[in-house]
Each structure stands twice: as C-alpha cells, then as structure tokens.
C-alpha cells in the first residue's frame, strides 16, 4: 500500500501543489516542467501562459542591489551547473512594475542512476519581511539621531 501511494505521481503532484512555498522544477535545458499553485501566486502567472521554454528568459530577476541577473547567475541554473544547493535573495519585477522580494533555495535533481536531470527550486515571497526590516532599520537610525541630538543638547545646557 505505501509503495503504491509513493509511486503515484498524482499524489506527489497534489502534495507539491499544496506547499506553502513556490516550487519550480526545470530540466537540463532549463525548461520549466513543474510549477505549483503558490509559485503562480508569487509570480502572478503560470509559465504556461508564455511557454515553459521561454520562462527563464521572460522574467527578470535582480540582485538585492538592483542589478539584473543573467540566466547563469540564477539559482536553478547554478544548481545544475555547480551541482550543489544554491541560495539566492532576489527581486522579481512583475509586468506591472511591482517588486517582489524572493528567497530561493535550488537543488540539483538526479535520477535513480545518479544522472543529473535538472533542478528544483523552493521560493517564497518575503516582501513584507524585507519592508518591515527596512522600516525597523530606518526607525532605529532616527532614534539614534534623536539620542545623539539630545545628548548634545543636554551638554550645551549642563552646568
């Protein structure tokens, strides 16, 4: 019974679709072969809408320093070419100009004979966290400035 369940692709696809992170799987030519529901929510559309073979070149990803990433710099590409886990903190810009901060972990995929067959990426939208971290940093900086100002003010009027 357990073997039957684990060998049932529809069960595995159902589980992947229910992950609370985006999941994308690509083959050795970087064609997207699987894309779950959460990935569609994060990116705003399915790669089916533009052609799975054009997906990698269609979307623009940027480093957190706002430099556009070339395909060779993307996590899924590195997972295949370097054959190791790759982590990335990127910005995705959707077709409406919105910036979505994404944290990604990509891994090489191997078949049963240990042949490299592609990569899988797990990613999540961390936009709200990044915005809150930035706001907290800004507030801390303003508080520090106020503290410095008050110290100088008190020194000026101390007897």
**Per-residue pLDDT tens over the stretch 112-125:** 899 999 999 999 99
Q: Which of 23, 44, 19 is nearest to 34 (CA)?
A: 23
pLDDT in tens, 74-96: 899 899 999 999 999 998 887 77
CATH architecture of the domain covering 2-125: 2-Layer Sandwich (3.30)
Contact 126/98 with Cβ under 8 angstroms? no
* Residue 2 confidence (pLDDT): 47
Of 30, 41, 51, which is closest to residue 120 (Cα–Cα)?
30
Give residue 58's pLDDT band: very low, low, confident or very high (50, 70, 90).
low
CA distances (Å), origin 79, targets 44, 103, 113: 24, 15, 18
Strand 86-93 relative to strand 99-110: parallel, antiparallel, unpaired? antiparallel
Residue 5 parent element (H or E) = helix 2-6
Where residue 1 falls among pLDDT bands split at 50, 70, 90? very low
Separation of alpha carbons 68 and 60, rounded Å: 7
Each residue's pLDDT tens digit, 22-44: 999 989 988 888 889 898 888 87
């Amino acid at each position: 019974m357990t073997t039957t369940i684990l060998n049932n692709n529809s069960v595995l696809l159902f589980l992947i679709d229910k992950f609370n992170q985006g999941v994308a799987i690509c083959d050795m030519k970087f064609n997207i072969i699987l894309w779950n529901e959460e990935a569609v929510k994060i990116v705003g559309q399915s790669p089916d809408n533009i052609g799975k073979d054009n997906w990698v070149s269609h979307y623009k990803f940027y480093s957190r320093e706002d430099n556009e990433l070339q395909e060779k710099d993307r996590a899924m590409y590195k997972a295949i070419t370097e054959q190791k886990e790759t982590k990335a903190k990127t910005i995705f810009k959707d077709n409406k100009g919105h910036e979505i901060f994404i944290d990604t972990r990509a891994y090489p995929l191997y078949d049963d004979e240990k042949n490299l067959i592609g990569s899988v990426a797990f990613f999540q939208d961390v936009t709200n966290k990044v915005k809150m971290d930035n706001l907290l940093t800004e507030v801390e900086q303003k508080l520090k400035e106020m503290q410095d100002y008050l110290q100088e003010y008190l020194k000026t009027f101390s007897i």
